Chain A
Amino acid sequence: MSASTTNLTGPTGPKPKSGVTVASFFVYGTLFIMALYYLAPLYVMITTSLKTMPEIRQGDVFALPRDITFQPWFDAWRSENTGAVSRGLSDGFWNSVTITIPSVILSISIASVNGYALANWPFKGATVFFTILIFGAFIPYQLMLYPIVILLKNIGLYGDLGGLIIVHTIFGMPILTLLFRNYFSTLPSELFSAARIDGAGFWGIFFRVMLPMSVPIVVVAVILQITGIWNDFLFGVVYARSETWPMTVQLNNIVNSTFGEKEYNVNMAATILTGLVPLTVYLVSGKLFVRGIAAGAVKG
């Protein structure tokens, strides 16, 4: 082999990248339009929430605010001017927090154990149990609204935050159990066998082997539950009293208030405030969420 250099003709080395092609033009064009479509309402909401009412009355919804004011945000958070029943969002916020945190922890704790048992410890009637559970995921909530009212009344939790926590935990069970069962089924069964030979029991395997490998799916479950429970309106309206209303119900009362003039700036600020929690959760955990969804979706 000689180290001589010859002049090669024809295509050599890396293929040159072509510039803008028709295909890439359409792809990026479409993406750009879609982005505008989703960003426009957000733009309107944010600008409107920073305007004063006189400025809003003048008309142009797409104009930037002339005199930026944060008063609507304070009014939305704690104000008395939104009607007889509403007292701003702050109480609703704390109610929502008190409902969401225990519901998320409780439902995920129970569902992860359920899913683990279903995936790894075959027991008599496991398939029947699983079928019922799947079926439960498809029953419309409306069917069970009233029976649950009676149930909660009987155990004295109707209107209480505790009642709402129980309801959210139960309604989260089918989908979460399915999620965890499918995830645990994708983990190699030999790992489970190895742990059994190593003398670990039901809980030992769960806490020492399975759970440490479940971070992605736990993240998915936490996000699903936080957003689902935070955004819930139906259960909040039906099972809570005015003191225990979650933030979404409070928001509805503010926005749909029939007293006086519609305060668009306060409405916009209140809406953004209510959506802030799920939005933050998405932004913080976006990458983990995608990874977890991909991991859980491999096998059914």
Chain B
Amino acid sequence: MNIENPSVSIKQLDLSFGAVNVLNGLNLDIAEGEFLVLLGSSGCGKSTLLNCIAGLLEPTDGQIHIKGKNVTWAEPSERGIGMVFQSYALYPQMTVRGNLSFGLKNARVPKPEIEKRVARAAEVLQIEALLDRKPAALSGGQRQRVAIGRALVRDVDVFLFDEPLSNLDAKLRADLRVELKRLHNQLQNTMIYVTHDQVEAMTLANRIAIMKDGNIMQLGTPDEIYNQPQNLYVADFIGSPSMNFLNGTLENGTFACRDLTLPMSGYAFAAPQVADDAAVIGIRPEHIITGELVAGAPVKTQVLIDLVEPMGSDTLVYAQVDGKPFRIRMDGQARVAMGETLDIGIDPARASLFDQNTEARL
């Protein structure tokens, strides 16, 4: 996908800490007004990439362009970015007002203008009542709002978020997530958002970049990432509980393993011609057909229930297929018990096939 006039453009970025290469020739274009999420497990280099964009880390090689300008050598404050950190990073000795206006004072913005912008940001984030408090007297959610406000007042083109919700408890995290999405709809700024939480990524992103060891494993819309993972890593990483994988062989358009034979006629292959080879099929727990619908399923089989986890909204069933653990997500009202056999159906068209050697999508 080519983006014209990208808001942020990362070109062949290398970064190493001494002998450790964290980023290797990374390329990434982010469109104007896009909400891009960098998603990956801890230590994969998300923060490092974000810090390079912010100018807090000097790249070992490569360039960073923001709004068409090469800012590789520019100071963080000159790049037109605002950043929100996981630990809030509020100045503890300043009031909320002081925190919000610190950047503007440094930029010698006239006083009336500062007041106007602080008031506007406070209104957008609903922190007007907190302006004269010190950060210590705020709750976690309020602190993070102030931190967002600090980026907001500076009228920047690009917002950078480094796991902004990770320090909050589950309920607040969900609330603030929705607020962030509203804020993006309202402001239409470019936002680059780092997280290891796939729910945040799926709900917020226009596009997700899944990272592993400093490489982007897949870049695509949440829908693409979820339905057409381009490799085994992405397939395994996205989805909770994660995808069921079965090892087998692909022969004449039919996948076969010890317990199952799946004709892949409805499956959209990535390439028109696929050689017969060892393959892995991935089936999401929520794509397994149960109940009355099994009768109409393309492939039917039976499993023995190992364990049942009722979660209210849905019920997770653990079983075994081909000697490997197999998870099935059922309706919360399903009445199943350990030790029973369960009829299930599989639609190969919704599955994902991967080459066992290259781990790439077939």
A residues in contact (CB < 8 Å) with B: 188, 190-191, 193-200, 204, 208-209, 212-213
Do B89 and A194 touch across chains, with their CB atoms under 8 A apart? Answer: yes
Q: Return the contact of A199 from the options B51, B77, B89 (Cβ within 8 A).
A: B77
Do B93 and A198 touch across chains, with their CB atoms under 8 A apart? Answer: no
Q: Return the contact of A195 from the options B51, B54, B55, B91 (Cβ within 8 A).
A: B91
Interface of B is mostly: loop
Looking at A190, A193, A198, which has the most chain B CB atoms within 10 Å of its CB? A198
Do B87 and A208 touch across chains, with their CB atoms under 8 A apart? Answer: no
7 extra interface residue pairs, beta carbon distance < 8 Å, beyond A208-B102, A212-B92: A190-B86, A195-B102, A196-B56, A197-B103, A209-B91, A212-B93, A213-B93
Interface of A is mostly: helix
CA distance A203 to B51 in the complex (A): 22
* B150 proximal to A (CB < 8 A): yes
Do B92 and A194 touch across chains, with their CB atoms under 8 A apart? Answer: no
Given contacts A193-B51, A193-B54, A193-B56, are A198 and B106 in contact (CB under 8 A)?
yes
Do B102 and A197 touch across chains, with their CB atoms under 8 A apart? Answer: no
* B178 proximal to A (CB < 8 A): no
Q: In the complex, what's the smallest C-beta–C-beta distance from A211 to chain B, in angstroms? A: 9
Do A188 and B87 touch across chains, with their CB atoms under 8 A apart? Answer: yes
Q: Return the contact of B107 from the options A188, A199, A208, A209 (Cβ within 8 A).
A: A199
* B85 proximal to A (CB < 8 A): yes
Do A199 and B87 touch across chains, with their CB atoms under 8 A apart? Answer: no
Q: In the complex, what's the smallest C-beta–C-beta distance from B101 to chain A, in angstroms? A: 10
Chain B contributes a number of interface residues (CB within 8 A of A) equal to 24
Do A199 and B106 touch across chains, with their CB atoms under 8 A apart? Answer: yes
* B305 proximal to A (CB < 8 A): no
Given contacts A190-B85, A190-B86, A208-B102, are A196 and B91 in contact (CB under 8 A)?
no
Do B150 and A194 touch across chains, with their CB atoms under 8 A apart? Answer: yes
Q: In the complex, what's the smallest C-beta–C-beta distance from A202 to chain B, in angstroms? A: 12
Pairs of residues from A and B, 6 with the lowest C-beta to C-beta distance, nearest first: A199-B77, A198-B103, A212-B93, A199-B106, A190-B89, A194-B89
Q: Mark B57-91, 1 if CB is under 8 A from A, else 0.
A: 00000000000000000011100011101110111
Residues of B within 8 A of A195 (CB): 91, 102
Given contacts A204-B106, A208-B102, are A197 and B92 in contact (CB under 8 A)?
no
Q: In the complex, what's the smallest C-beta–C-beta distance from B138 to chain A, in angstroms? A: 16
CA distance A198 to B82 in the complex (A): 8
Looking at B75, B76, B82, B91, which has the most chain A CB atoms within 10 Å of its CB? B91
Given contacts A204-B106, A212-B93, A213-B92, are A197 and B76 in contact (CB under 8 A)?
yes
Looking at B86, B87, B102, B154, which has the most chain A CB atoms within 10 Å of its CB? B102
CB nearest to B102 among chain A residues: A198
Q: Return the contact of A196 from the options B75, B85, B86 (Cβ within 8 A).
A: B75
Do A194 and B85 touch across chains, with their CB atoms under 8 A apart? Answer: yes
Q: In the complex, what's the smallest C-beta–C-beta distance from A235 to chain B, in angstroms? A: 37
Q: Mark B275-315, 1 if CB is under 8 A from A, else 0.
A: 00000000000000000000000000000000000000000
CB nearest to B147 among chain A residues: A194
Which positions 99-126 of chain B face chain A at CB distance < 8 Å? 102-103, 106-107
CA distance A195 to B90 in the complex (A): 9
Which positions 144-194 of chain B face chain A at CB distance < 8 Å? 150, 154
Looking at A190, A197, A204, A208, which has the most chain B CB atoms within 10 Å of its CB? A197
| 11 CB-based A-B contacts, threshold 8 Å | A190-B86, A193-B89, A194-B85, A195-B91, A195-B102, A196-B75, A197-B82, A198-B103, A199-B77, A209-B91, A213-B92
Q: In the complex, what's the smallest C-beta–C-beta distance from A23 to chain B, in angstroms? A: 39
Q: Return the contact of A197 from the options B81, B87, B90, B91 (Cβ within 8 A).
A: B81
Residues of B within 8 A of A193 (CB): 51, 54, 56, 76, 83, 85, 89
Do B87 and A198 touch across chains, with their CB atoms under 8 A apart? Answer: no
Residues of A within 8 A of B76 (CB): 193, 196-197
Residues of A within 8 A of B90 (CB): 194
Do A194 and B106 touch across chains, with their CB atoms under 8 A apart? Answer: no
Q: In the complex, what's the smallest C-beta–C-beta distance from B136 to chain A, in angstroms? A: 12
Residues of A within 8 A of B82 (CB): 197
Do A200 and B92 touch across chains, with their CB atoms under 8 A apart? Answer: no
Q: Return the contact of B102 from the options A188, A190, A200 (Cβ within 8 A).
A: A200
Q: In the complex, what's the smallest C-beta–C-beta distance from A125 to chain B, in angstroms? A: 16
CA distance A194 to B55 in the complex (A): 11
Do A197 and B107 touch across chains, with their CB atoms under 8 A apart? Answer: no
Residues of A within 8 A of B81 (CB): 197
CA distance A58 to B215 in the complex (A): 89
CA distance A190 to B54 in the complex (A): 12
Q: In the complex, what's the smallest C-beta–C-beta distance from A160 to chain B, in angstroms? A: 40
Q: Return the contact of A200 from the options B51, B87, B106, B150 (Cβ within 8 A).
A: B106
Residues of B within 8 A of A188 (CB): 87, 89
CA distance A93 to B107 in the complex (A): 49
Do B87 and A190 touch across chains, with their CB atoms under 8 A apart? Answer: yes
Residues of B within 8 A of A197 (CB): 54, 56, 76-77, 81-83, 103
